[in-house]
Amino acid sequence: MVRGSALGDRPSGWHHVRDLAPRRATLAPCADVSDAPRASRTVGRVTETAAALVERLTALVPDFPKPGVLFRDVTPVFSDAVAFGRVCEALAAPFAVGAGFDAVAGIEARGFALAGGIAAQHQVGVLTVRKAGKLPGEVLSEQYALEYGEAELELRPGQLPAGTRVLVVDDVLATGGTGAATITLLERAGYQAIGFAALLELDGLNGRERLEPRLPVATLGAVPA
């Protein structure tokens, strides 16, 4: 899900990542294939880029969750088998070179789906970064700023060996508040956050500028905040 500016916080020096994945992929228009035979639809979708699939399948819902907000619902991307596999591959690709990653951290809630898909493709584990009060036992907590007030994310420590290389994923990058809090949680747990990937980023909210001093950032496209 990608919202407008009501999202609050949400949707470098590693130049080899930028060479493999440009900062922002162009969201190319895609022909409507909804009336084509099933076999033809499958062939057409195989040729679509991940960015084009996200653009075509994302549902736009005006005035939700409040008047004046254009809500971008990306759950249709998750329910489409071809699109989901393609976007998971595309999000991970810039970070799968060299030393790669040993686990994927998904930010609640849509980041869980993306983290699970990427982890299954690369046969690595998943870390769930949850909202406060959702995890039992010992947890690490990190606050981040919202438009009004603060929120908190939590992570259970000790799940992986110290130094584990972790890719952080979410559906959208806005101001970067949840991303920054997640990176800090991973570092406090003794892990190495090696990159941040999201389906979309919101222009003008400076999320990329906030995160890139800490790690490489890759998204499949950008939309107005």
pLDDT digits (tens, 9 = 90+) for 17-29: 333 333 333 333 3
Active site residue 110: yes
Query: Would the pLDDT of 130 be above 70?
Result: yes
Contact 77, 199 (CB under 8 A): yes
Q: What structural domains does the chain harbor?
A: 5-224 (3.40.50.2020)
Of the residues 23, 147, 188, 209, only one is catalytic, namely 147
Of the residues 72, 110, 165, 210, only one is catalytic, namely 110
The per-residue pLDDT for 147 is: 66
Grouping H, G, I as helix, E, B as strand and the rest as coil, residue 65 is: coil
Rounded to two decimals, the pTM is 0.80
Active site residue 147: yes
> What is the tens place of the pLDDT at every residue in 194-215?
999 999 999 999 999 999 999 9
Instruction: Report helix, strand and coil shares of the chain as percent, to nearest 5.
Output: 35, 25, 40
